[in-house]
Structure 1
Amino acid sequence: MTVNKLILTLDDAKKIAAGAEAEAKRNEWPVVIAIVDDGGHLLYLQRLDDTQFGSIHVAIEKAHAAIAFRRPTKIWEENVVEGQLRYLNLPGTLPIEGGLPIIVNNQFVGAIGVSGVRSFQDAQIAQAGIDALTS
């Protein structure tokens, strides 16, 4: 059986990044924006001015975790805060909010990870990026 599979294109990634960048700049938040495809392969990376370089790796890992498990990274952050420390040892997870899967027509096509400010702000930027694609 064959299935039609949607893919996240470079143009899609640029649109997502532009939406995320606009939200970050509106709030004057220096961040890194990482976008991966459904296989976790880095498709697009953007580092805004004055962003700490450590956020590069964190943004990529947030995106990897969000697509690997097809859920927002906030879920693991909440679990760890509640004392479920076993999630700290689950390979491929990053228990820090700011990674979101990208879903188009009920298909997981990729993920976005944002890092550089407080984790809930990272998530706000990531959501703005997804909204730019889906609106």
Structure 2
Amino acid sequence: MTVVVKIAISRMSIAAAAAYVAVEAAVAHAGAVDQAIVAAVADASGDLVALLRADGAFKASVGIAQDKAYTAAVFGVSTDALSDDLGANPSLHLGIALRPGVVLFAGGLPIVIDGQVIGGIGVSGGSEAEDRACAEAGLAALGQV
């Protein structure tokens, strides 16, 4: 009996040009309310595709924005929703939170096309609500809701 095994899969990922549109829109949104943020977009595997640091943005925000984009991309949910989902299990919440590159507070959103996660956007530099609003502006620039 011969067993047929699928050897490879095809996976969509965000294009660099789209990633740049998203980070520019997020930084522009923040600039309109006089904020200096960092926006990052990761591909479906969580690898950095684009990053934009506004003039005056905190250096620490660079790594945090990247981590938010990574988290949203690889888990396929917003960073704050992931935290909420894990909240019922404190040991799991702590275990995931301790993983390198994982962020469990607002500002990271997945980028989804036709039900498939193709990347994530992460924003850092403001409050959680401000970071989320800037990430949403980045998604809106891509036609995402």
Instruction: Give the TM-score, by structure 2 length.
Output: 0.82
Q: How many Å apart are 1:19 and its aligned residue? A: 1.5
Aligned AA (1:95): L
Identity of aligned residues (%): 29
Q: Is there any run of 5+ residues in structure 2 with no aligned partner, and where?
A: 1-5
Local SS of the residue matching 2:55? coil
Q: Distance in 1 between matches of 2:135 and 2:38?
A: 10
Local SS of the residue matching 2:138? helix
Q: Is the 8 A contact 1:16 1:130 kept in 2?
A: yes
Q: Which residue of 1 is the match for residue 128 of structure 2?
A: 119
Q: Distance in 1 between matches of 2:82 and 2:17?
A: 30
Q: Distance in 2 between matches of 1:88 and 1:122?
A: 23
Worse-matched range after superposition: 85-94 or 5-14: 85-94
Provide the aligned length of Structure 1 versus Structure 2. Answer: 134
Q: How many Å apart are 1:78 and its aligned residue? A: 4.0
Q: Is there any run of 5+ residues in structure 1 with no aligned partner, and where?
A: none
Rg larger in 1 or in 2?
2
Indicate whether 1:48 and 2:54 are aligned.
yes
Q: Which residue of 2 is the match for residue 100 of structure 1?
A: 109
Q: Deviations over 1:42-89 (max 9, x none)?
A: 000110011110011111111111111110001244468x68543132
Instruction: Give the TM-score, by structure 1 length.
Output: 0.87
Please point out which of 6, 16, 22 is paired with 2:12.
6
Aligned AA (1:107): Q
Give me the CA root mean square deviation: 2.1
Q: How many Å apart are 1:4 and its aligned residue? A: 6.0
